[in-house]
């Protein structure tokens, strides 16, 4: 191990610098509960159990970042009235029951104080416990939802994407309200987390056009991120999927002069023609592709394009590599990730998204061990 | 005479009123439903698919196209019924479509439905969180050719396998082709669980569905 603590290592990377070695996160979030014999259903509203699980998992796998929260994509929408639906690994929002069916519904949204809503309160308390117990040497990052994705949870995809074309003013008015409320929650982590990862899975170009990102996502995220940074928290922008055509805007929402990171899968050169075109535009026609690993190579292009402005996080495939692969495949992917992303610092190795709780322990271990082995800066 | 290019353009770009007006005018002019499907609906669907695949169209454009297609297909299908008596003789194929048990994500599934319908398939969409038993019961009743299953989350992927296992258990595996897609799926995984085809997106799902129908006949 190098001479730095996990917190020091992660903080330097988030500032764009080069620490002793590449920081690594497993994103074993719902899985952490399994490590203490619990499941999300039995522990989600018990901050002590949640924090204990995250600490036990972190001790077992040895990564640098501990994540507070579990249903980060959905907490704000639930506070505003959305119903929960239990999936295996977390309660997601049940979009069959829409909170907003008319603009009048949008005028009548409820905005409970963060400490008064059970999910918000539990995440805040979990983060407090984590910060108190391990925050002096581990990086604590809390997962929350971006305003655009929250709007989608309240309205449903099709209605939101129809309204952006036909009733843009009403959508802006809704996003404005959601942003105000989101900021209240996101800034409540002042002093009890180091970083706030804003999850915005609806904002990737699988659904949202670059023009819509610029109009309906960016201004609200900018406001949110500025407020987060203003409280001394480090913002991380997670648009989740393909960032082709929006990458610069994804990086631009991190306030200038503030540390911050972007985290996504960035695209898939195997299945998305636009990803491949983008990659070849940035790295040249002769770029070598690995059909068994269509994600790692994206780091090289992303780092080249925005790596001088923000810390870049990723990009181990959580499914085909971590869930389905062998420890050897994990190690090989980590090696490629580090080769493509680590140069000059400003890089954190992690899966491209949340991990499946059935991910084998040996694969999580291989992720961290390989990062330690290949990620030492000379 | 209705200009087919104009109608196609209205459909592709989601100008609903114009598309409906031109469709009705074309039908009044005596143009057959079959001719409209071959020369307007199918080529328009191909253009929309290409534009989506190449990053020119996104969800908003697909939703508008879907809204327009729906209202345009009403009078066309009514005319087709008159023309051929038994529309089932003319069908491309029947698909039962569902997001599997435990998963509520439907946007990918809805896009697949849109493209299948735009290419002449009859689609019965069972919605989200659909248990294996229900998918199969409905597929039997609907006399489907293809069962198409979607899941976004890796934790719900077992729902796809459950459908295939349940088909085998009931001795029905060879009766239906199974097409699989969704963010957490892959070609390798689809092969491992015994699916017939995997598609990474809606455009490829249509190609795969045509292949499966060809194989069946």
Which of B32, B63, B87 corresponds to the end of one domain? B87
Structure tokens that stand for A282 in this block: 């940035």
The three-state secondary structure class of B26 is: helix
Please report where in the chains the tokens 């959580």 appear, as a residue: A318
Of A244, A319, A357, the CB nearest to B184: A319
For B56-75, what is each residue's pLDDT tens digit? 999 999 999 999 999 999 99
Structure tokens that stand for A96 in this block: 């069959």
Q: Are residues B113 and B211 in the same domain?
A: yes
**pLDDT (0 to 100) of residue A12:** 98
Q: Are residues B61 and B117 in the same domain?
A: no
Q: Are residues B107 and B35 in the same domain?
A: no
A370 falls within a domain: yes
Q: Are residues B81 and B95 in the same domain?
A: no
Which helix H or strand E contains A141, and what residues bound it? strand A139-145
For A3-33, what is each residue's pLDDT tens digit? 899 999 999 999 999 999 999 999 999 999 9
Sign of the torsion angle spanned by Cα atoms A286, A287, A288, A293: negative
Cα separation of B22 and B72, whole Å?
9
Which helix H or strand E contains A263, and what residues bound it? strand A261-266
**pLDDT (0 to 100) of residue B90:** 59
Cα separation of A214 and B191, whole Å?
39
A364 falls within a domain: yes
Structure tokens that stand for A189 in this block: 């982590």
Query: Beta strand A234-242 with A195-199: parallel, antiparallel or unpaired?
Result: parallel
Structure tokens that stand for B24 in this block: 């009705």
CB under 8 Å to A323, separation ≥6 — which residues?
A: A355, A356, A358, A359, A360, A363, B154
The whole-number average pLDDT for the span B128-139 is 96
Residues in A touching B186 (Cβ below 8 Å): 319-320
Q: Are residues B122 and B180 in the same domain?
A: yes
Q: Are residues B71 and B103 in the same domain?
A: no
- A-B CB pairs within 8 A amount to 78
Burial track B48-71 (b if 16+ CB lie within 10 A, e otherwise): bbebbbebebbbbbbbbbbbbbee
For B73-102, what is each residue's pLDDT tens digit? 999 988 988 887 654 555 689 999 999 998
The pLDDT of residue B137 is above 80: yes
A1 falls within a domain: no
The pLDDT of residue B217 is above 90: no
Question: Are B18 and B10 in contact, with CB atoms under 8 Å apart?
Answer: yes
Lowest pLDDT segment from A65-79, A239-253, A293-307, B74-88: B74-88
Cα separation of B141 and B145, whole Å?
11
CB under 8 Å to A321, separation ≥6 — which residues?
A: A293, A329, A330, A333, A363
Hey, of A39, A84, A158, A318, which one would you mutate to test binding to chain B, going by the most B CBs within 10 A of its CB?
Answer: A158
Of A95, A241, A318, the CB nearest to B104: A95
Q: Which CATH number fits the domain that encloses residue B49?
A: 1.10.1240.10
The shortest C-alpha distance from A312 to chain B (Å) reads 22
Q: Are residues B34 and B111 in the same domain?
A: no
CB under 8 Å to B156, separation ≥6 — which residues?
A: A87, A88, B100, B101, B102, B103, B184
Residues in B touching A268 (Cβ below 8 Å): 200
Q: Are residues B96 and B77 in the same domain?
A: no
Q: For residue B111, what are the domain limits?
A: 91-216
List of long-range contacts for A337-340, beta carbons under 8 Å, 24+ apart: A337/A296, A337/A299, A338/A22, A338/A371, A338/A374, A338/A375, A340/A296, A340/A297, A340/A299, A340/A300, A340/A303
Structure tokens that stand for B54 in this block: 């190449």
Q: For residue A78, what are the domain limits?
A: 6-374
Q: Are residues B105 and B68 in the same domain?
A: no
Q: Which CATH number fits the domain that encloses residue B112?
A: 3.40.50.280
Residues in B touching A89 (Cβ below 8 Å): 153, 155
**pLDDT (0 to 100) of residue B183:** 87
Nearest alpha-carbon partner for A263 in A5, A14, A55:
A14
Question: Which residues on neighbouring strands pair with residue A263, listed in sequence order?
Answer: A313
Of B55, B104, B129, the CB nearest to A274: B55
Structure tokens that stand for B49 in this block: 């698919």
Q: Does B58 touch chain A (CB under 8 A)?
A: yes
How many structural domains does chain B have? 2
For A91-111, what is each residue's pLDDT tens digit? 999 988 999 999 999 999 999
Which of B50, B72, B87 corresponds to the end of one domain? B87
Please report where in the chains the tokens 């090289």 appear, as a residue: A300
Q: Which CATH number fits the domain that encloses residue A279?
A: 3.20.20.210
Residues in B touching A269 (Cβ below 8 Å): none
Which of B64, B87, B110 corresponds to the end of one domain? B87
How many structural domains does chain A have? 1
A48 exposed, middle or buried (CB, 10 Å; 0-12, 13-18, 19+)? exposed
Q: Does B207 touch chain A (CB under 8 A)?
A: no
Q: Are residues B111 and B60 in the same domain?
A: no
């Amino acid at each position: 191990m190098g001479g730095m603590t996990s917190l020091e290592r992660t903080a330097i990377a988030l500032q764009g610098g080069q620490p002793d070695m590449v920081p690594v996160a497993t994103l074993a979030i719902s899985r952490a509960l399994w490590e203490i014999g619990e499941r999300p259903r039995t522990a989600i509203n018990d901050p002590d159990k949640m924090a204990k699980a995250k600490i036990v998992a972190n001790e077992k796998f040895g990564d640098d970042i501990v994540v507070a929260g579990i249903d980060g994509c959905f907490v704000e929408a639930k506070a505003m009235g959305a119903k929960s639906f239990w999936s295996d690994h977390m309660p997601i929002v049940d979009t069959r029951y829409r909170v907003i069916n008319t603009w009048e519904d949008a005028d009548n949204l409820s905005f409970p104080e963060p400490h008064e809503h059970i999910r918000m309160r539990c995440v805040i308390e979990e983060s407090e416990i984590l910060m108190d117990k391990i925050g002096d040497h581990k990086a604590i990052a809390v997962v929350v939802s971006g305003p655009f994705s929250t709007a989608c949870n309240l309205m449903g995809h099709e209605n939101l994407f129809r309204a952006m074309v036909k009733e843009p003013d009403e959508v802006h008015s809704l996003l404005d309200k959601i942003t105000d409320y989101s900021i209240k929650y996101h800034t409540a982590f002042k002093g009890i987390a180091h970083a706030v990862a804003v999850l915005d899975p609806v904002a990737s170009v699988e659904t949202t056009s670059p023009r819509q990102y610029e109009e309906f996502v960016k201004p609200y995220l900018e406001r949110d991120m500025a407020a987060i940074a203003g409280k001394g928290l480090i913002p991380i922008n997670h648009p989740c999927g393909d960032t082709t055509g929006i990458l610069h805007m994804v990086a631009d929402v991190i306030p200038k002069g503030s540390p911050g990171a972007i985290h996504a899968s960035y695209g898939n050169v195997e299945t998305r023609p636009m990803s491949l075109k983008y990659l070849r535009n940035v790295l040249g026609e002769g770029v070598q592709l690995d059909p068994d690993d269509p994600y790692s190579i994206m780091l090289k292009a992303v780092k080249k394009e925005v790596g001088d402005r923000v810390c870049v996080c990723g990009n181990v495939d959580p499914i085909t590599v971590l869930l389905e692969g062998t420890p050897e495949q994990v190690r090989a992917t980590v090696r490629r990730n580090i080769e493509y992303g680590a140069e000059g610092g400003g890089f954190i190795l992690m899966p491209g998204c949340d991990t499946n709780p059935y991910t084998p322990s040996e694969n999580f271990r291989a992720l961290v061990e390989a990062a330690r082995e290949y990620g030492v800066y000379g | 005479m209705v200009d087919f290019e104009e109608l196609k353009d209205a459909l592709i770009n989601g100008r609903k009123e114009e598309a409906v007006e031109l469709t009705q005018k074309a039908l009044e002019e005596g143009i057959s439903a079959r001719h409209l499907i071959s020369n307007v609906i199918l080529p328009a669907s191909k253009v929309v698919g290409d534009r989506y695949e190449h990053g020119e169209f996104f969800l908003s454009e697909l939703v508008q196209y879907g809204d327009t297609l729906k209202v345009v297909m009403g009078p066309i299908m009514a005319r087709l019924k008159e023309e051929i008596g038994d529309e089932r003789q003319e069908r491309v194929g029947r698909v039962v479509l569902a997001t599997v048990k435990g998963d509520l994500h439907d946007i990918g599934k809805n896009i697949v439905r849109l493209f299948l319908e735009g290419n002449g398939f009859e689609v019965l969409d069972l919605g989200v969180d659909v248990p294996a038993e229900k998918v199969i019961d409905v597929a039997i009743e609907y006399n489907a050719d293809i069962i198409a299953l979607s899941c976004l989350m890796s934790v719900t992927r077992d729902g796809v396998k459950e459908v295939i296992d349940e088909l085998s258990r009931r001795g029905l595996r060879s009766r239906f082709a199974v097409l699989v897609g969704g963010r957490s799926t892959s070609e390798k995984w689809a092969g491992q669980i015994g699916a017939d085809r995997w598609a990474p997106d809606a455009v490829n799902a249509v190609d795969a569905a045509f292949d499966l129908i060809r194989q069946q006949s």
